Structure 1
Amino acid sequence: MSLAVPVPGTTLSHWNRLIQLAAAAGAYSQCLRHYASLLAAGLRGGDASTFPSLAKSCAALRLPRLGRSLHAHALLVGAGSDVFIRTSLLDMYAKCACLPDARCLFDEMPSRTLVSWNCMVAAYSKSSRVEEAVTMFNTMRGLGIRPSGGTLVGVLSGCVMKATRDLGLCVYGYSLKSGLDTDLPVLNSVLTMLVRGGQLHAGRLLFDSMREKSIVSWSAMASGFLQAGDYMEVFGLFNRMQGAGQKFDSVALVNLISAAVLLGNLLVAKGVHALLIKSGFESEQDLVSSLVNLYAKCMDLEAAQVVFDAVHMKNVVLWTSMISGYVEGGYPDKALTMFESMLRTDVEPNEATVSSVLSACADLGSANQARKVEDHAIAIGLQSDLRVATGLIDTYCKCGSIELARKIFDGVAITSRDLAIWSAMINGYACNGEGGEALLLFNEMRKEGVQPDAIVFTHLLTACNYSGLVDEGLQCFHSLTAEYGIEPSVEHYMCIIDLLCKSGHISIAKEFFKKMPIQLQNLVLAPIVSAYSSHSTDSSMDLLSDELLNLEPQNSGHCVLISNMLSCLGKWKKATTYRSLLSKQGLVKEPGRSCIELSG
């Protein structure tokens, strides 16, 4: 903490007044600097209005160690027994997630106020110990202390998981019985609990029934619609909010930008940008980062760069948004240039930044660049981060450096490996044609008790496909549903059909094809067409129904594929019709491409 220069002759009461004013204005760092200056001036003191201001500042800045020092100083000057001071320290420990310190102080308090009880209830709830929060809630009721709306909000704040939702509904029931259901913070907490728990319909009914709504109410409802992917409802909600005269804050605007990202319309993006400027939020870092991301999603990277360049003090989130924008926009070289520019500033990359840069290295197929990024990750202490390790594995595998990827994988403790890192390594073996190694690693993963998901099975089936492991592939496909209850996706069908066709098992592939929904069949035509062509099958094939032929006629690859199939069957007239669609509709068959770095 930097010390303010003490002014000669400044009295203790003067410093205390400065401390209180700074905390009241939200200048928490300044508040603590005043305290440091007080001590540097050789003064010792503090009262029932000074220490609460200091505790509030430590809570806001999440500085529990300094908070403990303040606690000790309060005891030293004889102010530690004051109920107001104890309650403020208790609140500080609770907000800093120091639950043992909070409980110890709570148990030592000879007399407890309602605020003290509320602090402990909220502390347990925010630490995901909701049952203990409810126990504390029932204990205070048993002692004759009537819970307030703040008490209920404290309990409800932790009832967002499925396992605790019933407890939350019980608390809401208590609010109805006790007359606290008109308390707006309580209703907002119930609304948040419902929408985060996926009960959007119930949340909307509650929202519509609320006579009074705050910005928290509107934002909670908008986040629920975003969670459901319904961006049009977010826009509608925002219009209603403006019509009701509700002033919006940065959270509401972030929700609006997120809805625009889902829509991906450049005109809407510019409208949102104009609204930010009109509202005076154009310089707020979080909103600017979201705006950069929005323009990147709309493929207007020039506009994203203009917004980025206009910010003088750039934070790590803003840098990461611009870097990931270039990666997702297909400009990995510009992403790396941007990363190099970032390294020349005082802003230190985080795990999200490193992951985005690694994606750029993977797109370029550059193992050398990936090594440089790895060295930098080690230098800033991110080598043990699972997200970074997973990114390194994925990048090295895509660059063909499977040994480097395995070295990273083996360097992560078995007990620390999550599903993502197992999946990345299995996929690495699959893409490099080492199906046997992929299957061995999958079995090792199962022995460690890690439950596979649909993505892991896609990697496994890809491994079997690339390595020609027919029996193993069929076994994997069977266990997908039989053992794990996962519904096969088009990727799973594609892998198994391709594997069977390449191995000459055309009849089995045909059975798989027929069992698929008609909407998915057109997506797996390629291997079947190729197999039927190479095996010179007769025209009795019944795969080409009219419904299938009419799917996605505007898809250039689809037109070429169907035309080839019809040619194989000797249906030249129909084949010519589909070929002519390419020129009539101006369609172009896009070539596939990939790149990898060789010898630097």
Structure 2
Amino acid sequence: MLHTHHHLFHLFNTPKILLFQTRFFSTSSSILHLCTKPQHLQQLHARFFLHGLHQNSSLSSKLIDCYANFGLLNLSHKLFYFTQNPDSLLYSAIFRNLYRFGEYEKTLFLYKEMVQKSMYPDEESCSFVLRSCFSVSLEQGKIVHGQIVKLGMDAFDLVGKGLIELYDVNGSLMQLNYWNNLISEASESGKMEESFQLFCRMRKENIQANSVTVINLLRFTVYLNSLKIGQALHSLVVVCNLCEQLTVSTALLSMYAKLGSLEDARMLFEKMPEKDLVVWNIMISAYAGNRCPKESLELVYCMVRSGFRPDLFTAIPAISSITQLKYKEWGKQMHAHVIRNGSDYQVSIHNSLIDMYSACNDLNLAQKIFGLIMDKSVVSWSAMIKGYAIHDQPLEALSLLLKMKLSGTRVDFIIVINILPTFAKIGALHYVSYLHGYSLKTSLDSLKSLKTSFLSSYAKCGCIEMARKLFDEEKSIHKDIIAYNSMISAYSKHGEWFRCFQLYNQMKLSNIIPDQVTFLGLLTACVNSGLVNKGKEIFKEMVEIYGYQPSQEHHACMVDLLGRAGQIDEANEIIETIPLESDARVYGPLLSACKIHSETRLAEFAAHKLINMEPKNAGNYVLLSNIYAAAGKWDKVAKMRSFLRDRGLKKTPGCSWLELNGQSTNISLIASSNARYS
């Protein structure tokens, strides 16, 4: 077929063909069926235009059908309007395809336009116009019926079937519109259950649902977050033979996507014979929104290969997918595309790009894009603040927050959630308290996730009493696993192991099943308080009673606990039992324990593992050097220092944050060139 395709396109470039318009037209008609992609059809259409065939009614009607077959009804519509003096053949083609896509009102609008031009439809056109009246207006149908009788076309079979459909012996269209209005009014009033009760009553009265009914009910399904109801409506669509209507299929796809049922969505997507840009965008967004970035980007590639050009609604989920994967080069390509496409003026695109470049460790580009935004939305500020937060630049995040306030932009829930961990990290209690007060004033504190964030932030700032106050303010019946875990973690970091286990017992009495995060908090408490036996007991309980598979963090806690207690061999045995290959989180505590207890042999083993995993982390080399120094192995100390110098590695200087009179200051500890490693 590919050979034939190229042969026919070559034929258009042959001057001889221009001498034979009849043969040329015949060739043109036959080649339309060979177009397997929209771009092929558009190339062919351009050639028709060059050869003066763009006003040929028969050829134009076939082009309208072909564009519609690719789901490009908008191009069919444009082609119709760009044709001078369209005849009944062309009207018939556009009526056929508008009806096929469920565009009933547009069908009736064009029919009125046709009549005003003193033109009258043929048998096929009458049929589609009458069927459109069935879905829109019985009164309009009666007017069309009168015009058809005057033309003497009511005797044709297709027209007769259309009239039977219109009046439907019992006038069920009027009843259907009545029920649709009732269902719509109930849903708009927030009475979702009543909407479905009305639908059930409608079905009992043998009134068959149409596309309007189904699309409305699908919207309610998303509101109710009920996949089961959505699947039942899908079955109804099949029974009512509404699958072929693109508007219904699109609504179904959107419902599955919003409910996170990717398997159902993809199955429906693959079965859809016609896919327009909206359909592709829904599926791409579904994958991006459900953290399936690779699948989302693969679909973008397939969409482009199918002849569709990505628009704004393609770019945003695509950039989100790139952000999740941290593929900076792909991000730059998408950035270039939106500039070429003229979408770079959109604030939503800028916000997505700020997120993407921040995630890809290019904060400079993120700052430049932020600076280009003239009318910054709250999302723009939030994206840049989040960028500073994830790159450990708390003062920059704070400075931007103050600028945001001066600009008159209201601080929202997302910004508070993004910036709180930054303040907590530097111990900026003043700013945590300020944000807490702001949240109380603006009623943001009613959000449970925000309360938990404040609890955790107060604890990290050393204000454990305020953290406990927030925990106790929550009623017992409303306390969930997240609240308990946050409070256990807070106590564990402050060495209050007894309170950790009090909360753990309280959890169990409240029938809240502990999760892996709970056990991580308890093990951390045991490490910080040196409770070796208690730690072993909790680790055993997690595995044997609750059946959890320990993570690297759980194993790291056990290695740290045993290592600090001098049980280094047992700590090493723990590492050897880990089913997956251990990472730096496990070998780091082992190396630290070797330093405390002057265990050179095992230290070398742990250090070499760490160096292979983190070749650019100078801290591992320095720690091993200190172990050699403590053992008096100065030749190895010199070798390690030489190794660091040759590779240009430097230990990151330690720093502390000091808050004085509400101002946070960074104090860095920079060792002099003569100072010993510490």
Query: TM-score w.r.t. structure 2 length?
Result: 0.62
Q: Is the 8 A contact 2:600 2:627 kept in 1?
A: no
Spell out, residue by residue over 1:379-428, the C-alpha distance to the aligned partner (whole angstroms, 9 max, x if none). Answer: 33334433333332222222222223223333344444444333322222
In the TM superposition, residue 300 of structure 1 has moved relative to its aligned partner by: 3.3
Partner of residue 358, structure 2: 296
Q: Is the 8 A contact 1:162 1:197 kept in 2?
A: no
Tell me the secondary structure at the aligned position of residue 597 of structure 1: strand
Q: Which amino acid aligns with 2:378?
A: V
Partner of residue 477, structure 1: 539
In the TM superposition, residue 163 of structure 1 has moved relative to its aligned partner by: 9.4
Q: Give distance in 1, aligned partners of 2:514 and 2:222.
A: 26
1:425 aligns with 2:487: yes
Partner of residue 515, structure 2: 453
Judged with a 3 Å threshold, the aligned counterparts in structure 2 of structure 1 residues 272 and 572 are, in CA distance, closer, same or farther, namely same
Q: Give distance in 1, aligned partners of 2:644 and 2:607.
A: 19
In the TM superposition, residue 492 of structure 1 has moved relative to its aligned partner by: 1.0
In the TM superposition, residue 145 of structure 1 has moved relative to its aligned partner by: 0.9
In the TM superposition, residue 586 of structure 1 has moved relative to its aligned partner by: 4.9
Q: Is the 8 A contact 1:121 1:137 kept in 2?
A: no
**Residue pairs, 1:134-173, within 5 angstroms:** 136-157=198-219, 164-173=226-235
Q: Which amino acid aligns with 2:537?
A: Q
Partner of residue 99, structure 1: none
Q: Give distance in 2, aligned partners of 1:527 and 1:465.
A: 11
Judged with a 3 Å threshold, the aligned counterparts in structure 2 of structure 1 residues 486 and 573 are, in CA distance, closer, same or farther, namely farther
Tell me the secondary structure at the aligned position of residue 410 of structure 2: coil
Spell out, residue by residue over 1:169-207, the C-alpha distance to the aligned partner (whole angstroms, 9 max, x if none). Answer: 343333333322222233334434555666545543432
Q: Give distance in 2, aligned partners of 1:309 and 1:547.
A: 45
Q: Give distance in 2, aligned partners of 1:189 and 1:564.
A: 65
Partner of residue 22, structure 2: none
In the TM superposition, residue 146 of structure 1 has moved relative to its aligned partner by: 0.7
Q: Which amino acid aligns with 1:368?
A: H
Query: After alignment, is 585-594 or 476-485 more displaced?
Result: 585-594
Tell me the secondary structure at the aligned position of residue 414 of structure 2: helix
Q: Give distance in 2, aligned partners of 1:219 and 1:165.
A: 21
Judged with a 3 Å threshold, the aligned counterparts in structure 2 of structure 1 residues 237 and 389 are, in CA distance, closer, same or farther, namely same
1:180 aligns with 2:242: yes
Partner of residue 552, structure 1: 613
Q: Give distance in 2, aligned partners of 1:169 and 1:110.
A: 26
Spell out, residue by residue over 1:419-454, the C-alpha distance to the aligned partner (whole angstroms, 9 max, x if none). Answer: 433332222212222222222233334434444332
Q: Give distance in 1, aligned partners of 2:225 and 2:344.
A: 40
Partner of residue 317, structure 1: 379
1:398 aligns with 2:463: no
Q: Which amino acid aligns with 2:391?
A: G
Tell me the secondary structure at the aligned position of residue 595 of structure 1: strand
Tell me the secondary structure at the aligned position of residue 181 of structure 1: coil
Partner of residue 336, structure 1: 398
Tell me the secondary structure at the aligned position of residue 182 of structure 1: coil
Partner of residue 388, structure 2: 326
Partner of residue 70, structure 1: none
Aligned-residue RMSD, C-alpha: 4.3
Query: After alignment, is 548-557 or 180-189 more displaced?
Result: 548-557
Tell me the secondary structure at the aligned position of residue 212 of structure 1: coil
Q: Which amino acid aligns with 1:465?
A: V
Q: Give distance in 2, aligned partners of 1:566 and 1:398.
A: 31
Q: Give distance in 1, aligned partners of 2:440 and 2:234.
A: 49
Partner of residue 145, structure 2: none
Tell me the secondary structure at the aligned position of residue 613 of structure 2: coil
Q: Is the 8 A contact 1:160 1:197 kept in 2?
A: yes
Q: Is the 8 A contact 1:518 1:548 kept in 2?
A: no
Query: After alignment, is 206-215 or 275-284 more displaced?
Result: 275-284
Partner of residue 7, structure 2: none
Q: Give distance in 2, aligned partners of 1:454 and 1:331.
A: 30
Counterpart among 250, 254, 259 of residue 316 in structure 2: 254
Judged with a 3 Å threshold, the aligned counterparts in structure 2 of structure 1 residues 456 and 161 are, in CA distance, closer, same or farther, namely farther
**Residue pairs, 1:62-211, within 5 angstroms:** 113-116=178-181, 118-119=183-184, 136-157=198-219, 164-192=226-254, 194=256, 200=262, 203-211=265-273
Query: After alignment, is 579-588 or 447-456 more displaced?
Result: 579-588
**Residue pairs, 1:225-264, within 5 angstroms:** 225-227=287-289, 229-246=291-308, 248-264=310-326
Q: Give distance in 2, aligned partners of 1:363 and 1:379.
A: 24
Q: Give distance in 1, aligned partners of 2:201 and 2:209.
A: 11
Partner of residue 214, structure 1: 276
Spell out, residue by residue over 1:298-338, the C-alpha distance to the aligned partner (whole angstroms, 9 max, x if none). Answer: 33334333333333433322222222222222221111111
Q: Give distance in 2, aligned partners of 1:439 and 1:128.
A: 45
Partner of residue 17, structure 2: none
Q: Is the 8 A contact 2:179 2:198 kept in 1?
A: no
In the TM superposition, residue 234 of structure 1 has moved relative to its aligned partner by: 2.7
In the TM superposition, residue 502 of structure 1 has moved relative to its aligned partner by: 1.6
Partner of residue 514, structure 1: 576
Query: After alignment, is 186-195 or 419-428 more displaced?
Result: 186-195
Tell me the secondary structure at the aligned position of residue 187 of structure 1: helix
Partner of residue 443, structure 2: 381
Judged with a 3 Å threshold, the aligned counterparts in structure 2 of structure 1 residues 199 and 339 are, in CA distance, closer, same or farther, namely closer
Partner of residue 358, structure 1: 420
Q: Is the 8 A contact 1:229 1:262 kept in 2?
A: yes
Spell out, residue by residue over 1:139-159, the C-alpha distance to the aligned partner (whole angstroms, 9 max, x if none). Answer: 322211111234334444566
**Residue pairs, 1:506-545, within 5 angstroms:** 506-520=568-582, 522-532=584-594, 534-535=596-597
1:408 aligns with 2:479: no
Counterpart among 497, 501, 507 of residue 559 in structure 2: 497
Q: Is the 8 A contact 2:211 2:248 kept in 1?
A: yes
Spell out, residue by residue over 1:65-94, the C-alpha distance to the aligned partner (whole angstroms, 9 max, x if none). Answer: xxxxxxxxxxxxxxxxxxx9xxxxxxxxxx
In the TM superposition, residue 121 of structure 1 has moved relative to its aligned partner by: 8.7
Partner of residue 88, structure 1: none
Tell me the secondary structure at the aligned position of residue 259 of structure 1: helix
Judged with a 3 Å threshold, the aligned counterparts in structure 2 of structure 1 residues 545 and 197 are, in CA distance, closer, same or farther, namely farther
Q: Is the 8 A contact 2:610 2:620 kept in 1?
A: no
Q: Give distance in 2, aligned partners of 1:200 and 1:383.
A: 34
Structure 2: give runs of 5+ residues left out of the alignment. Answer: 1-136, 138-173, 663-678
Tell me the secondary structure at the aligned position of residue 141 of structure 1: helix
Q: Give distance in 2, aligned partners of 1:455 and 1:549.
A: 25
Judged with a 3 Å threshold, the aligned counterparts in structure 2 of structure 1 residues 163 and 580 are, in CA distance, closer, same or farther, namely farther
Partner of residue 143, structure 2: none
Q: Is the 8 A contact 2:284 2:299 kept in 1?
A: yes
Q: Which amino acid aligns with 2:271?
A: S
In the TM superposition, residue 222 of structure 1 has moved relative to its aligned partner by: 1.4
Q: Is the 8 A contact 1:556 1:582 kept in 2?
A: no
Judged with a 3 Å threshold, the aligned counterparts in structure 2 of structure 1 residues 582 and 289 are, in CA distance, closer, same or farther, namely same
Partner of residue 24, structure 2: none
Tell me the secondary structure at the aligned position of residue 314 of structure 1: coil
Q: Is the 8 A contact 1:382 1:388 kept in 2?
A: yes
Q: Is the 8 A contact 1:121 1:154 kept in 2?
A: no
In the TM superposition, residue 495 of structure 1 has moved relative to its aligned partner by: 1.0
Query: TM-score w.r.t. structure 1 length?
Result: 0.69
Partner of residue 287, structure 1: 349
Judged with a 3 Å threshold, the aligned counterparts in structure 2 of structure 1 residues 128 and 363 are, in CA distance, closer, same or farther, namely farther
Q: Give distance in 2, aligned partners of 1:529 and 1:566.
A: 9
Q: Give distance in 2, aligned partners of 1:196 and 1:477.
A: 40
